[in-house]
Amino acid sequence: MPGTRGPVPVPLREGGRDLTQQILDLLDTKDPLHTNTDFPDVSQSDIKAALDRLASRSMLAYNTQEAEQVLLTTEGQMICDEGSHEYKVWDAVQQKGRLPLKELPVWAQDMCTVVVPETSD
């Protein structure tokens, strides 16, 4: 079992480093910590586990602040730049004055691109 019980923190080794000790060392020089900028390469679950270990031994207290960041997908950015498929049809009708329904598939093949959904690895 790593470390000892009591007021001494049980080390949380993440990637071969003692994260609980790094947090304590950083708190000696910086207060408050912002884990997203102070430890950008460490996952939030590992940071929370280290903070919980230290808090359970009354070595620190912390508050969690959550923020959401909304990002566009490739398809969303393309819609922002070029317009939606519906807008493209509306625009074509506006430009031509009239677009028969039977010509729509031909126009769509010329004007629209296929978007391959993003996948996370």
Q: Render pLDDT for 44-102 as a digit per residue (tens, 0 to 9).
A: 888 888 899 899 988 888 888 888 888 899 999 989 998 888 888 888 788 888 878 88
Residue 72 neighbours by CB under 8 Å, 6+ apart: 80
Helix, strand or coil for residue 55?
helix
Distances in Å between the Cα of 10 and the Cα atoms of 19, 70, 106 are 10, 36, 67
- Name the residue with higher pLDDT: 103 or 5: 103
Strands 13-14 and 17-18: antiparallel
Residue 55 CA to residue 121 CA, distance in Å, equals 34
For residue 54, give the nearest of 95, 19, 81, 30 by alpha carbon: 19
Residue 16: the pLDDT is 64
Q: Does position 1 have pLDDT exceeding 50, yes or no? A: no
Which of 10, 107, 105 lies closest to 52 in space, CA to CA?
10
Q: In this model, does residue 8 exceed pLDDT 60? A: no
The pTM of the whole model exceeds 0.75: no
